[in-house]
Chains A and B, each alone.
Chain A
């Protein structure tokens, strides 16, 4: 077990929280060497502007707070922020609206170029223990139900075969001008996450990495949700 990962889980537990904040979940993914988009947790307007300038391109800004768990519903996510003005505006808007919400910080994250949205998720099955799934993701994931399961931990080979069993293969092969999904990289992420779900099965109840965006640069976890048991 990785000491730093364990510390994150222990901290969340000690605060009587069940859900990791996005930046905490992403810190874990970073410790697994997953290719996360560059991001920074900021607390002041100056820091936000600095991060924006550093990333050199449009960013997303998200409120990190244990009281704001459904960020999209509460309009605590803004994407495609392209100017310093917008950064300031968004920062101050968040600070006003969520003043009473124990905001830990604002996550400024570089936008990932558009691509195919995928999901990798894990849960604990009563028969097979930790299992992991992969498939087309995004907001339609539950409608599509085109996911393939493996037992955790799963090897690279098992992850690759799972990806091959996704029904909507067209989507993975370069659909409507999008780049084909880098299957090797997706499989590597799946395999690593499956090891995470297995090794930390005493902590992790459910995990949703949705979406991962697959574009010509690679496969990037864009949102991450980890729920403790």
Chain B
């Protein structure tokens, strides 16, 4: 069977791109996007501005065409960044110019009520007449640093951009997308993004197209989602169920309550659907549902950097009894189990450590621990075939622990990537220091034992799902 390529592919693969509403003011949306493309886009760039003339973007002089119809060359994809009332005309001209892929970032459509609905309906008619694929309106459009493709109209001085990586995002809310892009730019190395799709009001391309496209995209190793409602719920769920077997798909489905539904209506013209149904269908389709925004970064850092655990047996190494106990509680909350060490590993630890260290799981190397002790304990439990994931908890304020030595040891073991390995650093300045150093290198590091174990719990949940669906890990 020949598979029809997904419509979003044509947007990203454009060899020529046109910005309609290319402002000469670099702080205005049309100026930002023109500058973005002038700087990085490897294909041909055309700019439309009704005032005409020429202008310099990213050090190169560009003709400003008064209309897209004045351009002689073929254009694969265009973006419309003009006020909503001018958008139908701009779209119609794209149709006449035979441009088949158009991003409309402008707001002021269905999400603002009656007047906007009328304009959006007009847009939809034009879209059908000329057979145009549309992303938007009321969105940020597309971003892919590796492709030099950036329609995000917020200046890079304000909204930082993550560098190329293997995480892809699609979002119904542009504001969510913008904030999370900014967050990822400063998370760890900042090397995260394969594709970013903000599809806004989904007048044409919707969540089902996005999941299908990213499922097939080879640069995408994990998919992060923000949804408020579904335009094609059945297709989305069916596609998700296939995609989640290939790569983890996780994120937020907001609009969970009546109050949420109202907030949605004034936002992206969202309509709520019964969350009990949504929740069950998402789970069945292998979606890891995250409820709060703050857990998303943890998910990125764990899913994008860690091998999936083979089972749910966890080993904990800590220098603080309290942290160990809390971590153990969290282990059972997350449906994990404390591993029972094999006799050889147990014997080894009993031999190397003083009697007042607790060498059964959770391993407590106490306030007397040195970085070397961490190395011995972590390596021992890492070697144990009965351990699927290692949780490295450190309260660095103890006297014999050299923080740089501890960082080096953690770096060494975490780099092996044979097993899930997460680190929690708890305390003040030194903890923050170690956290920052390790995170900068994209190690799975957290600020509490709970977050670290919750991250393992998520990975195990996904691994279990795959096993249940008959996948070998």
Contact = CB atoms under 8 A, between A and B. Distances in A.
Interface of A: 125-129, 131, 145, 147-151, 158, 161-162, 165
Interface in B323-340: none
A150 B468 CA distance: 17
Nearest to B279: A149
Contacts of A129: 234
Nearest to B283: A165
B273 A125 contact: yes
Nearest to B238: A151
Contact of A127 (B233, B283, B284, B468): B233
Contacts of A148: 280
B351 to A, nearest CB: 43
A62 to B, nearest CB: 31
B4 interface: no
28 contacts: A125-B273, A126-B273, A127-B229, A127-B230, A127-B233, A127-B273, A127-B274, A127-B277, A127-B278, A128-B233, A128-B234, A128-B277, A128-B281, A129-B234, A131-B281, A147-B276, A148-B280, A149-B276, A149-B277, A149-B280, A149-B281, A151-B234, A151-B237, A158-B284, A161-B468, A162-B280, A165-B280, A165-B283
A158 B468 CA distance: 11
Given A127-B229, A128-B233, A128-B234, A150 B284 contact: yes
Interface in B443-473: 468
Nearest to B231: A127
A8 B276 CA distance: 32
Given A127-B278, A131-B281, 13 more contacts: A125-B277, A126-B273, A127-B230, A128-B230, A128-B234, A128-B237, A148-B280, A149-B277, A149-B281, A151-B281, A162-B280, A165-B280, A165-B284
B174 to A, nearest CB: 22
Instruction: Give the contact-size bracket for chain B.
Output: 10 to 19
A151 B276 CA distance: 12
A129 B283 CA distance: 18
Interface in B228-259: 229-230, 233-234, 237
Interface string B299-311: 0000000000000
Contacts of B234: 128-129, 151
A129 B236 CA distance: 13
Contacts of A158: 284
Given A151-B234, A151-B237, A161-B468, A128 B273 contact: yes
Contacts of B229: 127
Contacts of A128: 230, 233-234, 237, 273, 277, 281
Interface centre among A131, A151, A162 (most CB of B within 10 A): A151
Interface string B270-302: 000110111011011000000000000000000
Nearest to B274: A125
Contacts of B468: 161
A126 B274 CA distance: 9
Contacts of B280: 148-150, 162, 165
Interface centre among B230, B273, B276, B277 (most CB of A within 10 A): B277
